[in-house]
Amino acid sequence: MISVQLQSRSCHELSGREAIKEFNSNLKNGLTAEEVASRYETYGWNELPIKPGKPAWLRFLLQFHQPLLYILLIAGAVKAFLGSWTNAAVIWGVTVINAVIGYVQEAKAEGAIASLAKAVTTESTVLREGQTLQIPSRDLVPGDIVLLTSGDKVPADLRLLNTRSLQVDESALTGESVPVDKSIQPLPKDTPLAERINMTYAGSFVTFGQGTGIVIATAGTTEVGQISKSMEQRVNLSTPLTRKFAKFSRILLYAILTLATLTFAIGLGQGESWIYMFEAAVALAVSAIPEGLPAVVTITLAIGVNRMARRHTIIRKLPAVEALGSTTVICSDKTGTLTENQMTVQAIYAGGQNYQVSGSGYSPKGEIIHPTNNHSESVFEDGLLSQALKESLIAGVLCNDSQLKHAGEHWSVVGDPTEGALIAAAAKADLTQSALAASKPRLDSIPFESEYQYMATLHDADFRTIYIKGSVEALLKRCSQMIDREGQIVPLEQAQIEQAVEAMTAEALRVLAFAKKIVAPHQHSIDHDNIETGLVFLGLQGMIDPPRPEAIAAVHACQTAGIQIKMITGDHISTARAIAQRMGIQKTKQVLGFEGQQLAKMDDRQLAQAIEDGDVFARVAPAQKLRLVEALQSKGEIVAMTGDGVNDAPALKQADIGIAMGKGGTEVAREAADMLLTDDNFASIEAAVEEGRTVYQNLRKAIAFLLPVNGGESMTILISALLARDLPILSLQVLWLNMINSLTMTVPLAFEPKSNGLMQQSPRNPKEPLITKKLLRRILTVSLFNWILIFGIFEWAKFTTGDVAVARTMAIQSLVAARIVYLLSISQLGISLFNYIRGRSTLITNAPILIVGIVAAVALQIVFSQWNVMNILFETAPLTWNQWLICLVPMLPMIPTAIFANYIDQS
């Protein structure tokens, strides 16, 4: 039996003959039916298992798995046991509302494994028993001989045996931005994944040429399968917000249980009935639990989601909104996010002259600029479109198998991105592909082969001409002449050309050389012998995937906000460094970069230091991306990771916030991510970070508004119970305040605009608690006021009216009146009004939403006290006009209290 899978991870070391022997196969005939059946039994189908998600009913039940809800559920059960079914129903209703909100909030079940399965599901051309067959990719087994041709999706991991001009797009797996030329020669053991040119991997695409390979890994043992396993083992990390809420909930749970138990025990010791003390303990517990907080958090996050959608960001998981605002490091792939994801010619050398090319992508908009001594001029000015430049551009268009297409303003390439860039560059000099193809029709061609490093085409024009494009090394050794600016043939100036090449490569440009050869008028075909000598050098074109201008500005904005930017890419280190330099992604004058081979030799401590110091990480394997993210998290960083390929999925899932490309990314990456960029633009990440910070700012306002009410209610009930006084507020009335009134008045805070200088602030300390010392001082100050207010109004009203129900109703309405003043004090509207009173010109923003919330709260409070149904349900009583006016009095002392609270919060 074959030792398949043992050697599958290092088959790039083997020769083709050794690989065939290792897998006990046959290049001419393939496997027999008996061998295929036997290998099915051993290795199974070539498909990835789909891990089933949790059923809907279980996800709903898990929403009750929260410490604070346990108290409410138990309290409701005891109330029901005592016969207070109305109280029990209301308490249980609150828990169900919270569960429904949490269920809606939860992201859809992870579909990344299913998407990975799709990545290897396709039709394959295979050789079995000497016959060429079309079979589903799931039927492949190790040892199968697979035939590849342009347009095919690679169905499994293959060791290549034969190639003819084979180019494969592996960007989804390796991050390489251009198709890779394949060969069959063995490679060293430590060759990085992205440089294993004698291998093709499941899920990649053949863009050009043909090839034959032997299946060396299927299903879970493929590179894609290994990623699948790492994702399956990974559990979703909580966000900073969920971690802080969990810690806050635990602390609050212990405090509530301790106080409620203490209150119950002291009351019994003072001779009170256990039923009265249990009501007091339940009221204390209910008052201390901020029932409206989960709903307010969810609504605030949802509003943030809608805002982000308008800024090209789709959030799949609500907590990710706030996590963005906490981000301290953004790890970004180069391709598409920071760059245009379109190769662009930026420099040309022809006839001894250097030219610059403006514009970006495949659009023909732009100019070819000739730098003179004092200024730059377009090649259309003063006859600067030299014959040498024209010939170089024509060669790039004719020696080309790709085409450009456009829909409206959007241009794209059908074929090789490098060839698309050459067509776009020529179009900027009014040399169109269609016109050139008509005037110089192609007669024959030699496709690009990695062995020769060039492509050649034969054309019929005034003279039969061969145009050649390829690497500088391949063409220069075949040239003895070149053309000058006027198009005259002159001796080759190799030193000058090599100097131009060095200048382009220093800018990390990918350089192609161009040449031509005049042949006999009767020649109709070409082969390699025709171009071994006698070529005339035409010029050089240097291209790169350029940075997006808006992304450069966004990187600067993030750095100003104290967020580090790290580039983690599958591209070459020189290209990545050049892009980073142009974008300002560096801590020092020089960009510090590391390659995947270097990272592989580092232990965890060294890796943590490298990720801290480094700016660029190139040629990284999927597992290394994951290690880099984990290393940052181990240092306490909140990591946002961008990606678009299968290889990015584990790191996206591990990161605190995974960001996938919505336009050009793979479905695997989208399913693993927390958010999608609809425009695949880094600038949208910066906008999302701003929105995330705004969301946290508004959440903090909501907490500062909600918790003082809970504090005041708890203090009132605790002291009243210990003093054996009538309770100023009952548990059901507390639930009304904490849910209905709180939601009505707090939701407008979710619409608050960002504060000035928000993106000039450093990221929040990830270890900062949900309730900071400043916020705690504010909460205690306002809680003390609310306690005095509730207790004082209740005792006064009970003394003057003799009606406990009226006294409780007046205490509640007074508290709501004071809350309106406090709400204004922490809102942008209140700040704007305060500045206006002080004579400062200010813009009053978001006034309608806040006013609607206040009006709705007042209307509900009128119903709460004046409608007899509510009187029966909540044990309230109708108030007279005079009693209503008395309830408004506490608004006055709340003004200095709110001002003092703002002062201690900002000090």
In angstroms, rounded to a whole number, what is the distance separating the alpha carbons of residues 477 and 471? Answer: 11
**Of 486, 349, 342, nearest in space to 420 by CA:** 342
Q: In the numeric block, which tokens belong to residue 520?
A: 């006999």
Reply yes or no on whether 333 is catalytic. Answer: yes
Q: Are 165 and 174 in contact (CB under 8 A)?
A: no
In sequence order, which ranges of 186-318 are alpha helices (DSSP H)? 223-233, 240-269, 274-288, 292-309
Indicate the pairing of strand 157-169 with strand 180-181.
Answer: antiparallel
Write the DSSP string, 315-380.
ESSTHHHHHHHH--EEEE-IIIIIB-SS-EEEEEEETTEEEEE---TT-S---EEEE-SSSEEETT
**Of 594, 640, 643, 642, nearest in space to 615 by CA:** 594
- Collect all residues with Cβ–Cβ distance below 8 Å to 245 and sequence separation of at least 6: 297, 770
| Alpha-carbon 906 to chain mean position | 34
Catalytic residue among 144, 152, 333, 648: 333
In angstroms, rounded to a whole number, what is the distance separating the alpha carbons of residues 74 and 66? Answer: 13
In angstroms, rounded to a whole number, what is the distance separating the alpha carbons of residues 225 and 206? Answer: 20
Q: Which residue has the tokens 């390659």?
A: 595
Q: In the numeric block, which tokens belong to residue 395?
A: 């060669």
- CA distance between the termini of the chain: 76
For the CA atoms of 350, 355, 359, 362, what is the dihedral angle to 10 degrees? 10
**Conformational region of residue 370, where left means phi above 0, alpha means psi within -120 to 50, and beta covers everything else:** beta
| Tally of CB atoms within 10 A around 189 | 8
Write the DSSP string, 622-637.
HHHHHHHHHHHHHTT-
In angstroms, rounded to a whole number, what is the distance separating the alpha carbons of residues 309 and 475? Answer: 51
Phi, psi of 481 (to 5 degrees): -135, 165
In angstroms, rounded to a whole number, what is the distance separating the alpha carbons of residues 289 and 488? Answer: 88
- Collect all residues with Cβ–Cβ distance below 8 Å to 592 and sequence separation of at least 6: 586, 613, 614, 615, 616
**Of 653, 652, 579, 645, nearest in space to 616 by CA:** 579
Residues making up the chain, counted from first to last: 907
Residue 49 DSSP label: P
3-state helix, strand, coil in the chain (%, to 5): 50, 15, 30
Q: Would you name the residues annotated as active-site residues?
A: 333
